[in-house]
Amino acid sequence: MRAFLGLGSNLGDRRAFLAGAIARLPDVSAVSPVYETDPVGGPPGQGAYLNCVVELLTDRTPRELLAAAQAAEAAANRERLERWGPRTLDVDVLLVGHESVNDPDLVVPHPRMWTRGFVLVPLGDLAPELVIGHLTSDLARGIRPAGTI
């Protein structure tokens, strides 16, 4: 089945953290272009993020993909000091086929993905049929192309 993970980094060598995560994730079939965005929420004074979305062709469960995401974050020395604070790497499970999960530590589809341009723009590069009707010009404002991984 198709699954999508969102990746972001705003500390250190952001591009290297994204590339390292992509190399560690299982079953990657496609990677969106990279976009630079201003932080959404969190403490003031954070640096800009690099964001992308990866598509997986996988038979792994949402919980298995969460474990892979957390392992990639740990490999990037991710520290969870404050909600929406700066980070070396953030990997979110966005969609896993048509599966739905609503647990305290995992919600799939990701509950805020439809309101985040930094998710919808790169997701639209890989699966435009999924973002039709969700991506507005307001959400896309401030999303700057930043090349590829």
Q: In whole angstroms, give the CA distance from residue 24 to residue 4.
A: 15
Asked if pLDDT for residue 82 goes beyond 70, the answer is no
**Phi, psi for 129 (deg, rounded to 5):** -65, -20
Q: What is the pTM of this model?
A: 0.94
- Write out pLDDT tens, residues 109-128: 999 999 999 999 999 999 99
Bridge partner list, 5: 54, 93
Q: For residue 60, indicate whether it is catalytic.
A: no
**Phi, psi for 123 (deg, rounded to 5):** -60, -40
The residue type of 143 is I
Percent of the chain predicted with pLDDT > 70: 96
86 vs 91: which has the higher pLDDT: 91
Asked if pLDDT for residue 52 goes beyond 80, the answer is yes
Closest CA to 112 of 3, 1, 2, 6: 6
Asked if pLDDT for residue 81 goes beyond 70, the answer is no
Q: In whole angstroms, give the CA distance from residue 29 to residue 85.
A: 30
Q: What is the mean pLDDT of the chain?
A: 93
Q: For residue 103, indicate whether it is catalytic.
A: no
4 vs 38: which has the higher pLDDT: 4
Q: For residue 15, indicate whether it is catalytic.
A: no
The CATH number of 2-145 is which of 3.30.70.560, 3.40.50.920, 3.60.20.10, 3.40.50.1820?
3.30.70.560
Asked if pLDDT for residue 45 goes beyond 70, the answer is yes
Could you say which of 27, 87, 103, 105 is catalytic?
A: 87
Largest CA distance in the chain: 40
* Whether the bond into 109 is cis, omega within 30 of 0: yes
Could you say which of 13, 59, 63, 78 is catalytic?
A: 78
Asked if pLDDT for residue 79 goes beyond 80, the answer is no
Closest CA to 18 of 125, 90, 71: 90
What residue spans define the domains of the chain? Answer: 2-145
Could you say which of 59, 92, 105, 141 is catalytic?
A: 92
- Write out pLDDT tens, residues 60-75: 999 999 999 999 999 9
Asked if pLDDT for residue 56 goes beyond 80, the answer is yes
Burial (CB < 10 A; 0-12, 13-18, 19+), residue 41, is exposed
The residue type of 11 is L
Q: For residue 116, indicate whether it is catalytic.
A: no
Q: For position 121, what pLDDT does the model report?
A: 97
Q: In whole angstroms, give the CA distance from residue 79 to residue 3.
A: 25
